[in-house]
């Protein structure tokens, strides 16, 4: 079987590629990634050693390019991680979020239909449900919760989900969707809360906490998300939506303090800064459906996952320092174009 993984040079997509290589070494993998600021080819360096893996640089919103790639590769399954993924950036510049997160999905789905792909999987987010109040801890997002996005990012992901569901209803298109809570773990781009705090704390810089740090997120170790997607693409029912969550709710302040404890650092650099506009208060997933139907459970307790994540960042200083210096953006040019390897 051949899987096309889009957005595989990013955080979750790369973890998924390594998960699949370990779990299903018989499968071939093609990664399509535009290598935006969030894509880092160095992350995929170990994967390049595998003859069953191929990396292709390209844009999921470029119809001609996508069509040619599908004609050449004939994937059996497409898993779409490619997206603009940072809420704060979507507040600054919503346009690219619509192009990639909505138009890109339409283009991918049309290519899947034209080439008889047996499963298209859309990696979505719990942010499409909007938020929950802080004072009702017994409320959770279920698959029946109405879509009510707050940010341009979550609105673009919600739009894509509606389109995927419409393709299933209209064309019988074999699609599944997972809506996942906040992920953390290796290869997380250091603009997001946990890697930002780890890398800034290591540099003894200030640690910017939005508002009072009371907003709540449900944290899921990235490997647990990968195992959920793997189950859904192989055993999930076409046309179905599955919520994926970690049963690990924490306030942002609790998260930052846990990271500092793990690093052996004090709390004196925590700085409360202006809040994010439209800041969602609480996300909390009820993952009962995927547990019941597919036997999935989140295996990694938060404290264990944070310990592993902090250890990973300590052991991979070059990876994140190269990103922070901007040097990683020259990697493709250095490793491929300058060596005449073309677009791989």
Give the residues lining the site for ligand NAD (CB under 6 A).
6-7, 9-13, 33-36, 38-39, 59-61, 81-85, 100, 104, 123, 125, 157, 180, 182-183, 189
Nearer to ligand NAD, 117 or 180 (CB): 180
Smallest distance, ligand NAD to C-beta of residue 311, A:
20
Cβ-proximal residues to 14 (8 Å cutoff; 6+ apart), any chain? 8, 43, 44, 47, 187
Q: Which is nearer to ligand NAD, 81 or 264 (CB)?
A: 81
Name which of residues 248 to 277 contact ligand TYD (CB under 6 A): 252, 276
User: Which of ligand TYD, ligand NAD, none does residue 11 bind (CB under 5 to 8 Å by kind)?
Assistant: ligand NAD
* 50 or 267: CB nearest ligand TYD: 267
| Catalytic annotation present for 171 | no
Task: Give the rounded distance of the alpha carbon of 221 from its chain centre.
Answer: 11
The CB-of-260 to ligand TYD minimum distance in angstroms stands at 14
- Is there binding between residue 29 and ligand TYD (CB under 6 A)? no
Residue 248 site contact among ligand NAD, ligand TYD, none (CB < 5 to 8 Å, cut-off depends on kind): none
From 19, 129, 153, 242, the catalytic residue: 153
Catalytic residue among 20, 84, 126, 131: 126
- The closest alpha carbon to 66, from 112, 3, 20, 130, belongs to 112
Residue 208 as a binder of ligand TYD (CB under 6 A): the answer is yes
Q: Is 19 a known active-site residue?
A: no
Q: Which residue is nearest to ligand NAD (CB)?
A: 10
Which lies closer to ligand NAD via its Cβ, residue 206 or residue 297?
297
Q: Judged by CB, which is closer to ligand TYD: 208, or 239?
A: 208
**Catalytic residue status for 249:** no
Q: Which residues are catalytic?
A: 126-127, 153
Binding site for ligand TYD (CB under 6 A): 87, 182, 192-193, 196, 208-210, 215, 217, 252, 276
């Amino acid at each position: 079987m051949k899987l096309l993984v889009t957005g595989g040079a990013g955080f979750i997509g790369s973890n998924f590629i390594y998960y699949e290589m370990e779990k299903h070494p018989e499968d071939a993998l093609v990664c399509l990634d535009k290598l935006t600021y969030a894509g880092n080819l160095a992350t995929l360096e170990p994967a390049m050693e595998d003859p069953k893996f191929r990396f292709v640089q390209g844009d999921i919103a470029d119809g001609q390019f996508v069509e040619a790639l599908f004609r050449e590769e004939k994937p059996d399954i497409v898993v779409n991680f490619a997206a603009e993924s940072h809420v704060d950036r979507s507040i600054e510049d919503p346009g690219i979020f619509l192009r990639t997160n909505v138009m890109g999905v339409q283009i991918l789905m049309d290519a899947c239909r034209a080439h008889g792909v047996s499963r298209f999987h859309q990696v979505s987010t719990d942010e499409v449900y909007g938020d929950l109040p802080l004072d009702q801890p017994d409320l959770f997002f279920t698959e029946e919760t109405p879509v009510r996005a707050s940010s341009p990012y979550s609105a673009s992901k919600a739009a894509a989900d509606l389109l995927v569901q419409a393709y299933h209803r209209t064309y019988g298109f074999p699609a599944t969707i997972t809506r996942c809570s906040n992920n953390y773990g290796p290869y997380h781009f250091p603009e997001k809360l946990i890697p930002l705090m780890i890398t800034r704390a290591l540099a003894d810089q200030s640690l910017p906490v939005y508002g009072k740090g009371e907003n709540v997120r449900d944290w899921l170790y990235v490997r647990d998300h990968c195992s959920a997607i793997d189950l859904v693409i192989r055993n999930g029912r076409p046309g179905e939506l599955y919520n994926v969550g970690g049963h690990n709710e924490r306030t942002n302040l609790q998260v930052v303090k846990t990271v500092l404890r793990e690093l052996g650092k004090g709390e004196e650099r925590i700085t409360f800064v202006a809040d994010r506009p439209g800041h969602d208060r609480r996300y909390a997933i009820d993952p009962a459906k995927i547990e019941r139907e597919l036997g999935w459970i989140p295996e990694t307790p938060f404290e264990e996952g944070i310990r592993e994540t902090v250890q990973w960042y300590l052991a991979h200083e070059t990876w994140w320092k190269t990103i922070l210096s901007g040097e990683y953006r020259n990697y493709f040019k250095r490793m491929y174009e300058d060596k005449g390897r073309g677009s791989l």
